[in-house]
Amino acid sequence: KEVINRLRYLEAEIEDLELKEKELDQQKLWLQQSIKNITFSYVTHEDICNCFNGDTLLAIQAPCGTQLEVPIPEMGQNGQKKYQINLKSHSGPIHVLLINRE
Amino acid sequence: AQECQNLEMEKQRRIERIKQKRAQLQELLLQQIAFKNLVQRNEQNEQQNLGPPALNSTIQLPFLIVNTSKRTIIDCSISSDKFEYLFNFDNTFEIHDDIEVLKRMGMSFGLEAGKCSSEDLKTAKSLVPKALESYVSDMCTGSSWVNQGLLLSST
Amino acid sequence: SCLTPRTALLYKFNGSPSKSLKDINNMIKGGGQK
């Protein structure tokens, strides 16, 4: 009898979880659409400089689907590690802007 | 009893899946709050400055930021059609997306770190639909209904 | 040269989550330990 009660209880719990999961899926879709609708947002160069105290900054704007590859750094001939970023777009030009406070 | 055991495992699987989906939803909520807060901030600045900022002083979202030390030497090769870029750095760098920049600007009121004043929490909630406000409160207190809800009762 | 996932970490604009960038940053910070 105890096991049967437990069974009924678990079935009810799983039904609750299923409803909760469906609700989360719907809310996620709604939020994704809502975020897409927020367009033409911009930040200023100063905003960005304030976030990365004194670094040299490259701002990259690229079409959807553009690939960014970062090879695992290898030791160069001169004993120094080489760090690389490779950008490849198949649908439009990529815009890169150098930003620093000066 | 075997069926019970199977249902227990099914329940745990679902709870794990819900936890992940809940985390994804909270990340999306952070984005929504940050974007809407940015739009409001820009509108207020434009009203104060009687117009939008100069085009060459702003960057449209979405974008990525590569940041590296000021001393780093960057060598850049660009294809003629600008479809391909190759950067060589002689030092380490970091790459961040625009959401990370907005978080650093405070556009998500520190919700991602669970540090949010009651005033900011109120403003943040006003930027999301009423049905999702409870998630925002949970982010602020760092709690989640799974800890409070079924898991505890079933143990 | 053709790069394979084991020799490079990849990110796709409007296609990869922010976590992919965190993985890249951790790899670079770790001196190339993937």
pLDDT digits (tens, 9 = 90+) for A5-27: 889 998 999 999 999 999 999 99
Tell me which of A32, A64, A72 to substitute to probe the interface with C (most C C-beta atoms closer than 10 Å): A72
| 8 Å CB contact between B15 and A17 | yes
pLDDT at B150: 46
Q: What is the pLDDT along chain A (102 residues), one digit of tens a residue?
A: 888 888 999 899 999 999 999 999 999 999 988 888 887 789 999 999 999 988 999 999 999 999 999 998 877 777 778 899 999 999 999 999 998 766
| ipTM score of complex | 0.83
Look at residue B144 and tell me whether its pLDDT is greater than 70.
Answer: no
DSSP code at position C6:
T
* pTM score, whole prediction: 0.82
Q: Do B70 and A54 touch (CB under 8 A)?
A: yes
Tell me, letter by letter, the H, E, C secondary structure of B53-85: CCHHHEEECCCEEEEECCCCCEEEEECCCCCEE
How many whole angstroms separate alpha carbon B107 and alpha carbon B124? 10
Chain A residues lying within 8 Å of C30, measured CB to CB? none
User: Distance of alpha carbon A56 from its chain centroid, rounded?
Assistant: 22
Owner of token pair 């985390």: B23
Identify the CA nearest to A41 among candidates B41, B24, B86: B41
Dist CA B39 CA B102 (whole Å) = 11
Q: Which residues contact C26 (CB under 8 A, 6 or more apart)?
A: none
